[in-house]
Structure 1
Amino acid sequence: MKIKKTSLRKSFEDLGKIKVLVIGDLILDEYLIGSVERISPEAPVPVVWVRNEKQSLGGSGNVVQNLSSIGVSGVVFGRIGLDKAGDSLEGHLLANSVTSEDLVLLKSKTLPTILKTRIIASHQQVCRVDREEVVPLTIEEEKKILIQFESKLKECAAVILSDYDKGYLTPSLIQSVIALCNRENKIVTVDPQVSHFFLYKNIHIMTPNHHEAGKALGRKLMSDLEIEVACREISEKLNPDAMMITRGEKGMSIYERKTNSFYHIPTVAKEVFDVTGAGDTVITTYTAFVATGMPIADAALISNVSAGIVVGKLGAATVTQKEIEEALQTLGYLEVES
């Protein structure tokens, strides 16, 4: 499987001409980075001497950040709290990813912004502290969001549902969003949660990992054959154009319904440093390149290569056009026409 260099360059140009709408659960990621030199006298736990702190976009925010990194304009729908973390999350979005006109936030007076704090020592995660309250949207909030969504949808080429099961993407909102996208002939892609797995009907593609897909079907998925059977079974229930199952060290598998074709793409990661956000990179790059008109198999190959790049970085990282082209070239996936 190879991608023509002229085709890749054309897609790069087209990325700057499209908008992709991301709707889902916004999360602020916080990192406390330091070293461990002793054990606490209060309990048998390491004492981390924090020397550096940073915050970044997590959840659907990282999806938007990935879009920006490859030159795609994003539109964001999500929920934050009226708190310091919410201010920080909104600031990160405006500074790196979207304009104020394309940032549609529901600001809750009662719920906190979702904050995940990771404590890192000697390049290893010591623990993670989550601060969140999972409460579904009210019917009135859903109605307001759908009115805003329908208005913004017209200027977008594709929609990504980034579902972390934190209350924003309710079953009824999921179904309404997909229905609106289909009415307007917009590409819909989904990074799913198992609790909503069989609600994502009539979409372009869903991108669960093999654990999520196996849990939804009630069995483990290990071999290529088991993955292929699972893709067909899920597709019969959801009627997507394609199914993608990411498989960790085994790469990913794609099923294209129209041609009844399977593509098993091996992993390209040289060194796995942090898998945080790898799924965000997969769905972002795939959606963006498909939205430029790139074939499903080629877009999947690019998303696999992109994921291999970001797992070698700390935190919810992103990838650039230059990194993608260089990786494709190095791996022999780029065809240079004579």
Structure 2
Amino acid sequence: MFKIKKSLLHQTFTKLSEIKVLVIGDLILDEYLIGSVERISPEAPVPVVWVRNEKQTLGGSGNVVQNLTSIGVNGIVFGRIGQDKAGESLEKILLSNTVAKEDLVLLKSTKIPTILKTRIIASHQQVCRVDREEIVPLTKEEETVILSQFKEKVKDASAVILSDYDKGYLTPSLIQSVISLCNAENKIVTVDPQVSHFFLYQNIHIMTPNHHEAGKALGKKLTTDSEIESACREISDKITPVAMMITRGEKGMSIYERNANSFYHIPTVAKEVFDVTGAGDTVITTYTAFVASGMSIKDAALVSNVSAGIVVGKLGAATVTQKEIEETLRSLGYLEENV
């Protein structure tokens, strides 16, 4: 049975406000048009959505940053936006809710638009999604500028998250250079991966793919515990991480500690899955923050699993709070009260 001492949890909560986590990856602006459907269009057999509310939030690596803020962690952000209205909105949200100006390092490109994903919601159901993006890799000159800035900022971070959505910012050479710089500075490096870059994330602390991503990278289907364990070992042999995590949807998650050759299979805690958007962001964020604050791999994984179970019960790319984490740990019997 998994248990976390209440005193350890509160001690870690206190430390969260004392650390900084650097997030580098693909920034996305999420837009929601929320309304109701009362008729079908006379122009085509599609529903007519009467929009009653609109909102914009941070998506992609921006949602990782939102998750940091929600649990009380300060973030340093590296990413790319376009010189457009969506970029202005994204930057404004980052500065107003999450990141200090000196800790926001944005490449403002004239070549691409800010990635904008518009979701149309009616009666709590997503009707469709409209994506506006251009996938253009960074130039060598842009990489050089980013690495120069990163080399300075990483010194202030306790850990670094690579949030890879394969939108062109995290190029293969940038990935390898960032990890190398982190290792030189003895910083924790965690990765939410893309299959196309899967085996580039060498010598990191942990990678957190879902079972579909891990299976695709290995060219096999991963269903049973034994298949997951075999996959963790196979991937770890290639990228030599400290640990390997595979999230498994309704089956929870599995964690492999390479040096100890030990596995933890943590069952899902989600009571009702409303929207899986951003669940992976929550996993990588909470795990990284809690490990950087001194928690063990096993305990941090449990916290991240519980956190993911909370956010899938919310609409959109949601976040969790310290209070929600503690209450959920207690309700599930995972919190060991002080004696």
Detail structure 1 runs of 4+ shifted over 4 Å in the superposition: none
Residue aligning to 1:165: 166
Q: Secondary structure in 1 aligned to 2:156?
A: coil
Q: Any idea what the Cα deviations from partners look like across 1:16-36, whole Å, max 9, x if unmatched?
A: 100000000000000001111
Residue aligning to 1:248: 249
Q: Matches of residues 205-224 of structure 1 in structure 2 within 5 Å? A: 205-224=206-225
Instruction: Give, in whole Å, the separation in 1 of the partners of 2:268 and 2:138.
Output: 38
Residue aligning to 2:57: 56
Q: Matches of residues 132-151 of structure 1 in structure 2 within 5 Å? A: 132-151=133-152
* Structural RMSD (CA): 0.5
Residue aligning to 1:35: 36
Q: Matches of residues 1-338 of structure 1 in structure 2 within 5 Å? A: 1-338=2-339
User: Percent identical across equivalent pairs?
Assistant: 82
Q: Any idea what the Cα deviations from partners look like across 1:190-218, whole Å, max 9, x if unmatched?
A: 00000000000000000000000000000
How much does 1:293 deviate?
1.1
Q: Secondary structure in 1 aligned to 2:265?
A: strand
Letter in 1 for 2:206: I
Instruction: Give, in whole Å, the separation in 2 of the partners of 1:317 and 1:102.
Output: 23
Q: Any idea what the Cα deviations from partners look like across 1:118-167, whole Å, max 9, x if unmatched?
A: 00011100100000000000000000000000000001000000000000
Instruction: Give, in whole Å, the separation in 2 of the partners of 1:220 and 1:121.
Output: 34
Instruction: Give, in whole Å, the separation in 2 of the partners of 1:227 and 1:96.
Output: 38
Q: So what's the TM-score if we normalise by structure 1? A: 0.99
Instruction: Give, in whole Å, the separation in 1 of the partners of 2:101 and 2:267.
Output: 40
Instruction: Give, in whole Å, the separation in 1 of the partners of 2:305 and 2:97.
Output: 24
Instruction: Give, in whole Å, the separation in 2 of the partners of 1:244 and 1:96.
Output: 30
Q: Secondary structure in 2 aligned to 1:280?
A: helix
Q: Any idea what the Cα deviations from partners look like across 1:255-294, whole Å, max 9, x if unmatched?
A: 0112111000010011111111000000000000000110
Letter in 2 for 1:124: Q
Letter in 2 for 1:53: E
Q: So what's the TM-score if we normalise by structure 2? A: 0.99
Letter in 2 for 1:161: L
How much does 1:110 deviate?
2.0
The number of residues matched between the two structures is: 338
How much does 1:2 deviate?
0.2
Instruction: Give, in whole Å, the separation in 1 of the partners of 2:98 and 2:268.
Output: 28
Letter in 2 for 1:214: G
Letter in 1 for 2:213: E
